């Protein structure tokens, strides 16, 4: 959930470079094959969503999901190996699982089949399932993720980061942005400085 800044600063046109940056950022606390697969997926999705030229939001989210799958496969080859389900395969499966049903049905499927635990192989695919369920609205994706139960803050943070990169700040309601701004964290300035590093 804290890897989005790598996606903001490193372009995804060379996934090896991006996964190198993900591993460097994660080395001290999350240097396992499963954790790096999940982190690489989120960073690549954020980076790809920023660069996408697709006109339709659903196409930008789909491109970000494709990049996430490819990056997760690369990330799974890094770090200390640990047993766990294939993050790349689960992202692809989870995203396909919820395209079509209503949001309420998607929530039930994500919670009961994909899983919403702290485990990377559940939370990361859950975030991409949420995005697949409501690709046109990153705020609705955040709300859906927050309502699932389980590790909702992590799932919502990942879905919000990718959805926000695909849609931009204007896609979020002003009242929600105002609540964040009122915390005095200077996040807009921080995001601008990260984007300057990207350029």
Tell me the CATH class for 4-198: mainly alpha
Which one, of 132, 163, 157, lies nearest residue 145 by Cα? Answer: 157
* The predicted structure's pLDDT at residue 39: 98
Q: Supply the mean pLDDT for the chain.
A: 94
* The predicted structure's pLDDT at residue 166: 95
* The predicted structure's pLDDT at residue 54: 82
* The predicted structure's pLDDT at residue 70: 98
Assessment of whether the complete model's pTM goes beyond 0.85:
yes
Per-residue pLDDT, averaged over 17-38, amounts to: 95
* The predicted structure's pLDDT at residue 48: 97
First-to-final CA distance of the chain: 23
For residue 31, the SS3 value is coil
Per-residue pLDDT, averaged over 134-159, amounts to: 96
| Residue labelled with tokens 């609205």 | 137
Asked if 133 and 55 count as a contact pair (C-beta separation under 8 A), the reply is no
Each domain of the chain, given as residue ranges in start order, spans 4-198
Per-residue pLDDT, averaged over 22-29, amounts to: 94
Confidence of residue 199 (pLDDT cuts 50, 70, 90): confident
Q: Please state, in angstroms and rounded to a whole number, the distance separating the CA atoms of residues 114 and 117.
A: 9
The predicted-structure confidence for 90-128, as pLDDT tens digits, reads as follows: 999 999 999 877 999 999 999 999 999 999 999 999 999
> ∠ CA(90), CA(95), CA(100), 5° rounding?
145
Per-residue pLDDT, averaged over 35-64, amounts to: 93
The predicted-structure confidence for 161-195, as pLDDT tens digits, reads as follows: 999 999 999 999 999 999 999 999 998 899 899 98
């Amino acid at each position: 959930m804290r890897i989005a800044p790598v996606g903001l600063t490193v372009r995804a046109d060379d996934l090896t470079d991006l996964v190198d940056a993900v591993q460097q950022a994660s080395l001290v606390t999350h240097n396992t094959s499963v954790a790096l697969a999940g982190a690489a997926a989120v960073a690549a999705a954020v980076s790809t969503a920023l660069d996408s030229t697709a006109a339709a939001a659903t196409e930008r989210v789909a491109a970000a999901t494709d990049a996430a799958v490819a990056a997760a496969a690369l990330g799974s080859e890094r770090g200390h190996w640990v047993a766990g389900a294939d993050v790349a395969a689960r992202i692809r499966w989870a995203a396909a699982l919820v395209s079509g049903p209503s949001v309420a049905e998607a929530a039930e499927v994500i919670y009961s089949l994909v899983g919403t635990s702290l485990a990377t192989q559940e939370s990361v695919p859950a975030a991409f399932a949420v995005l697949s369920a409501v690709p046109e609205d990153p705020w609705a994706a955040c709300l859906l993720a927050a309502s699932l139960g389980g590790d909702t803050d992590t799932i919502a943070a990942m879905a919000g980061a990718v959805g926000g990169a695909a849609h931009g700040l204007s896609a979020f309601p002003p009242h929600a942005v105002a609540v964040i701004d009122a915390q005095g964290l200077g996040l807009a300035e921080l995001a601008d400085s990260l984007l300057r590093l990207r350029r």
